[in-house]
Copies of this chain bind each other. A is one copy, B any other.
Amino acid sequence: MDTEARVQHVLARMREHGGRMTPQRAAVVRVLVESTAHPSAEQVYEELLPQYPMLSLATVYKTVALLKEMGELIELMVDGVQVHFDGRQPYAHPHLVCKRCGSIIDVPIDQPHALAEQVAQTTGYAEVSASLDFWGVCPRCQSRE
């Protein structure tokens, strides 16, 4: 599914889900689905503010909560507190965070389903899922040092 199709898919599911379509919601969904930069709530808000002065941070959070509930978005943590969003691939997948500049990219490796299965068998836990993330120094920060 390409990006535009996914924007439409999410908007359609939102209406089905009983939600109304407002300019604010459409704009927030678009940024979350289109951005590859894994933006935080604040970043989504600031990106849209020039074009949508009628947008509040609270609405960004409310839209994010709705998308999360619908399973169309996942959250990820960086630096402990900051929550970033990934509305492109709304399932657990590995991320690679630069410890210098904080940028986040997706990692092109297989997902750790096998690991989760192994842990479930070893420990007796049920419904086990794995979250795999990586930290490192991105090429740009390397060349700057």
Contact = CB atoms under 8 A, between A and B. Distances in A.
Interface of A: 75, 77, 80-81, 83, 94, 96, 98-99, 105, 107-109, 112, 115-116, 118-120, 122-139, 142
A134 B116 contact: yes
B125 A98 contact: yes
A84 to B, nearest CB: 11
Nearest to A82: B80
23 contacts: A75-B80, A80-B83, A96-B119, A96-B123, A96-B125, A96-B128, A107-B119, A107-B122, A109-B115, A112-B132, A116-B134, A120-B136, A124-B138, A125-B137, A125-B138, A127-B135, A127-B137, A128-B136, A129-B136, A130-B132, A130-B133, A130-B134, A131-B134
